[in-house]
Amino acid sequence: MKRVLLITLIAVMAAGGAVFAAGSQDQSGGLDIGIAMPETHVLRWVTDGKKLQENATKLGYNAEVVWADGDQTKQNKQIEDFITKGAKLIVVASINTGINTVLADAAKAGIEIISYDRLLMDSGDFNYYTTFNLKKVGFLQATAIEQALDLKNAKEPQYITLFAGSPTDNNAYFFYDGAMEVLNPYIASGKLVVVGPYPKTSADKTNFQRIATEGWRAENAKARMENLLTNDAKDVVLDAVLAPNDPVGRAIVEACSNDAKYDTIEKLPIITGQDGELPTVQYILENKQYMTVFKDSRLLADATIQLADAILKGQTPNIPGTEKTTFNTNVKDVTTYLLDPILVTKDNVKKVIIDSGYYTADELKSIGQ
- Cβ closest to ligand BGC, residue 169 vs residue 309: 169
- Cβ closest to ligand BGC, residue 114 vs residue 192: 114
To ligand BGC, the closest distance from the beta carbon of 39 in angstroms equals 6
To ligand BGC, the closest distance from the beta carbon of 16 in angstroms equals 41
Q: What is the dihedral of CA 224, 138, 99, 222, to 10 degrees?
A: 20
How many amino acids of this chain bind ligand BGC (CB under 6 A)? 12
Per rule CB under 6 A, is residue 135 in the interface with ligand BGC? no
- Would you say 34 and 87 are in contact if contact means Cβ atoms under 8 Å apart? yes
How many Cα atoms occupy the beta-carbon half-sphere of 138 within 13 Å? 22
Burial track 245-265 (b if 16+ CB lie within 10 A, e otherwise): bbbbbbbbbebbeebeebeee
C-alpha dist (Å) from residue 366 to 9, 220, 246, 277, 356: 52, 26, 18, 13, 17
- Cβ closest to ligand BGC, residue 27 vs residue 322: 322
Per rule CB under 6 A, is residue 177 in the interface with ligand BGC? no
How far apart are alpha carbons 65 and 90 in whole angstroms?
10
Burial track 55-89 (b if 16+ CB lie within 10 A, e otherwise): bbeebbbbbbbbbbebebebbbebbeebbeeebbb
Non-local CB neighbours of 108 within 8 Å, separated by 6+ positions: none
Per rule CB under 6 A, is residue 42 in the interface with ligand BGC? yes
To ligand BGC, the closest distance from the beta carbon of 132 in angstroms equals 7
C-alpha dist (Å) from residue 169 to 45, 84, 116: 15, 27, 12
- Cβ closest to ligand BGC, residue 67 vs residue 82: 67
How far apart are alpha carbons 294 and 137 in whole angstroms?
9
Per rule CB under 6 A, is residue 169 in the interface with ligand BGC? yes
Among 26, 112, 125, 275, binds ligand BGC (CB under 6 A): 275
Q: Which stretch binds ligand BGC (CB under 6 A): 78-86, 163-171, 223-231, 302-310?
A: 163-171
Per rule CB under 6 A, is residue 171 in the interface with ligand BGC? yes
Q: Which stretch binds ligand BGC (CB under 6 A): 105-113, 165-173, 182-190, 264-272?
A: 165-173
To ligand BGC, the closest distance from the beta carbon of 143 in angstroms equals 18
Per rule CB under 6 A, is residue 302 in the interface with ligand BGC? no
- Cβ closest to ligand BGC, residue 244 vs residue 262: 244
**Residue 33 pairs with which residues in a beta bridge?**
63, 89
**Residue 223 pairs with which residues in a beta bridge?**
none
To ligand BGC, the closest distance from the beta carbon of 297 in angstroms equals 9
- Would you say 344 and 284 are in contact if contact means Cβ atoms under 8 Å apart? yes
Under rule CB under 6 A, which residues in 226-245 are in contact with ligand BGC?
Answer: 245
- Cβ closest to ligand BGC, residue 42 vs residue 240: 42
To ligand BGC, the closest distance from the beta carbon of 232 in angstroms equals 25
Roughly how many angstroms between the first and final C-alpha of the chain, as a whole number?
A: 64
How far apart are alpha carbons 184 and 30 in whole angstroms?
53
* CB atoms inside a 10 Å sphere around CB 219: 12
To ligand BGC, the closest distance from the beta carbon of 228 in angstroms equals 21
Per rule CB under 6 A, is residue 139 in the interface with ligand BGC? no
- Cβ closest to ligand BGC, residue 118 vs residue 224: 118
To ligand BGC, the closest distance from the beta carbon of 344 in angstroms equals 14
Per rule CB under 6 A, is residue 274 in the interface with ligand BGC? yes
To ligand BGC, the closest distance from the beta carbon of 354 in angstroms equals 19
Per rule CB under 6 A, is residue 44 in the interface with ligand BGC? yes
How far apart are alpha carbons 120 and 168 in whole angstroms?
11
**Which residues are at the interface with ligand BGC (CB under 6 A)?**
42, 44, 117-118, 165, 169, 171, 216, 245, 274-275, 295
